[in-house]
Structures are given as C-alpha cells and as structure tokens.
Amino acid sequence: MATATAAAHPNLALVKYWGQRDPALNIPANGSISVNLSGATTTTSVTFDADLAADTVYLNGAPADAETAHRVRVHLDRVCARAGVRDCAQVVSHNDFPADVGVASSASAFAALSLAAATAAGLSLSTQALSILARKGSGSACRSVPDGFVEWLPGCDDASSYARSLAPCDHWDLRVITVAFATTPKAVPSLEGHQAAPSSPFYQARLHEVMRTLAGVRDAILARDFDALSLTVEREALSLHAVAMTSRPAARPWVSGILYLAPETVQLLHAVQGWRRDGLPVAFTLDAGPSVHLICEGPLLRQVLDALDAAAPDRATTIVSRPGRGAWLVQENDGASAPSDTSCIS
C-alpha cells in the first residue's frame, strides 16, 4: 500500500483562459496569468492498494458523483500508466470552501490530485511536469501547481503547455475578496464556454488583444503597479464575457448567448467603478459565473470590506485571500490545510 496527501489552492485568472486549441489535451487558445488564492484549499489523499477491486473517490465525506469519479479515474490512469502501477486507488478529497462560490475547485482539485497520485505512485515530478499532468485533468489546474503569481504558457503540444511562477507569494501584498451571491443563474460549465467561444464574432479580436493584455498584466505584477493592473484586468474579464454573451453553445439552441452575470453582479461592478472614481483603488474580475472577485492592496483591505458591506450587505459568501503557494505535499499533523491568519470565509 502506498499513500500520499497533497493540497492546493484554487487560482484566480487575471488574464483568462477562454477557448481551446486542443480540447483533448486542454491546450488553450491563449496564454493566461493567475494568482493562487490562499483563502481556499483542497486537500487530497491517494492510496494505491492491491486489495481494492476498483478505484473509489470520496469528495467532502461522500462518494463523488459519477461524472466527477470518472474524471478522477481517467486522471489516475494517466499517473498509473506513467508509473507502471497496476493497483486501484482510494481517493479522499476535501474542500475547505463551499461549492458554487465562484472559485474553481477543479483547479485546486486536479493540482492536489496530481501531486498526491504521482507521489503515491512513486513518481518524482518537476513543477513543470506536474503542471502538464494537472492541465490534462482541468486546464486551469496547471496554474495551481507553481507558487504565487503564475503564467500559463499556452504552447502548441503536450510538452510545451504548462504554467510557471512569475513571482512568489510575498512579491506583492495583494488581496482578493471573492464575493458570491445566493441567487445564482444555472451554471454553464466552462467546458461548454470554451467550445462555444469560436462562434463569437469577437473571439478572434479577443485573442488578438490578449497578447497585449498578457504583457501589460505581467509588467504590472512585476512592477507592483496597481493602477496599471486594475483597468487592464477589468477590461480583460469584460472581454471574456463579451465573447461568452455572443457565442452559441451547441447544446443550448434556445439561448442567444451565455449570460453568466446576475443582477447582483452588475450592481457590484457599478459600485466598484464608483469606488475608484472616489479614490479607492480596487479592481474587479469575473470568471464563468456570477461571483465577483475584488482585488486591492493589503493595507486597503478594511476599507474595501467596509465599502462592500455597504454595497452588497446580502451577499452569501465572502472569501479573503492573499497570493498563495503552489501545490504542496502534506505531512501528517502539519496542519497545512488550515486557512492562514488573514483568510476568512463567512
């Protein structure tokens, strides 16, 4: 029997992955840049056991649904094929954050699963190799493997598409406040969004623009230039939504476009623009859902939370994160999955 436990944070894209060059390998159409979110953690144990008749997958204390279990098994097969392991595995995974709050648990889940499974199978993979492995489970998972601020180099094949750290966690004292609302529209999975993206008349324009956006966001991070970061990151998120709203998901012939935003989302975006007009440096970004991620520098956290309390008192969930570390192995009793002092979930 061989076992290993690993943990990883989800990550928030500042420049988004939207559209795929190779759906089978999750090779993206464009590069992306993200920051790991210290306020949320997935911890996963993998045990290979010759006595098991089949792989078993538990998520948050219960057997995983069939689709999730299948995705995990396919991923375990990748590791076993590489390591020459024939035993079945038990996978036990736990998220310390609620589902459906707008942080991609698949990113932290496949980053932690990749590290735990590879280690239990006796593989010792470099950060690059682990990022490549995690990408095949969920595209954005490749960005939860390296530390801090991360860039995913899109590449053109399996070996060249991986994420690397741009700067460590302590490079810039940024905070991300993830805000989720209770009334959420029914989710359109990002897989459908990726597939539908090329049907938008604005998709090629977005890809063209992303090259400039990547350079701008990379430079802003390296220079810790919040003013340069904020408008660029907001425009980038709105560009993803412009493509989503004008794309035609094949499986939903009744929709004119994908609308991820809820009324509360739009209300908060207006509030953020007002805060900035009034001199509070804060930015928003959005993923494929109604939640809003607010970004500010550490010393302004209290002010932003106060403004948020006034603008969105009825929000369902708030998670505060610092830039987080990349996926790590958990030793027994090291308490590695405990939230850090400034992280909070309410």
Q: Among residues 190 and 317, whose Cβ is nearest to ligand DP6?
A: 190
Note whether 151 binds ligand DP6 by CB under 6 A.
Answer: no
Q: Is 138 in the site for ligand DP6 (CB under 6 A)?
A: yes
Size of the site for ligand DP6 (CB under 6 A): 16
Question: Considering only 35-43, 58-66, 80-88, 99-107, which stretch makes contact with ligand DP6 by CB under 6 A?
Answer: 99-107
CA angle 134, 245, 320 (to 5 degrees): 50
Query: What are the C-alpha distances in Å from 182 to residues 11, 107, 265, 295, 345?
Result: 22, 23, 11, 21, 15
Q: Concatenate the DSSP letters of all residues of 78-109 into one string.
A: HHHHHHT--SEEEEEEEESS-TTSSS-HHHHH
- CA 54 centroid distance within chain: 29
CB 187 within 8 A of CB 289: yes
By CB under 6 A, tell whether 165 contacts ligand DP6. Answer: no
Structure tokens at 71: 């995705």
Interface pick for ligand DP6 out of 140, 230, 285, 318 (rule CB under 6 A):
140
Tell me phi and psi for residue 328, to 5 degrees: -140, 155
Residue 11 CB, shortest distance to ligand DP6, in Å, is 7
Whole-number Å distance between alpha carbons of 272 and 153: 31
Q: Tell whether residue 172 is a contact of ligand DP6 (CB under 6 A).
A: no
* Contact flag: residue 32 with ligand DP6 (CB under 6 A): yes
Site string for ligand DP6, 174-193 (x = CB under 6 A): ---------------xxx--
CA–CA dist 170, 322 (Å, integer): 9
Measured from the CB atom, the residue of 37 and 330 that comes closer to ligand DP6 is: 37
Alpha-carbon distance of 326 to 168, in angstroms, equals 9
| Interaction of residue 120 with ligand DP6, rule CB under 6 A | no
118 lies in the binding site for ligand DP6 (CB under 6 A): no
293 binds ligand DP6 (CB under 6 A): no
Residue 109 touches ligand DP6, criterion: CB under 6 A: no
Q: Which CB, 104 or 196, lies closer to ligand DP6? A: 104
Angle at 141 between CA 114 and CA 170, to 5 degrees: 100
Shortest CB 28 distance to ligand DP6, Å? 8
The CB-of-46 to ligand DP6 minimum distance in angstroms stands at 19
**Binding ligand DP6 by CB under 6 A: which of 133, 288, 296, 330?**
288
**Nearest partner of 234 among 189, 268, 191, judged by Cα:** 268
Q: How far is the CB of 161 from ligand DP6 (least distance, A)?
A: 12
CB of 2 to ligand DP6, least distance (A): 27
Least distance from ligand DP6 to the Cβ atom of residue 83, Å: 24
Q: Residue 7 forms beta bridges with which residues?
A: 43, 328
Closest CA to 238 of 280, 195, 285: 285
Candidate residues 16, 71, 241, 322; the one interacting with ligand DP6 per rule CB under 6 A: 16
- Going by C-alpha positions, the residue among 335, 318, 336 that lies closest to residue 327 is 336
Binding site for ligand DP6 (CB under 6 A): 13, 16-17, 32, 104, 106-107, 138-140, 189-191, 194, 287-288
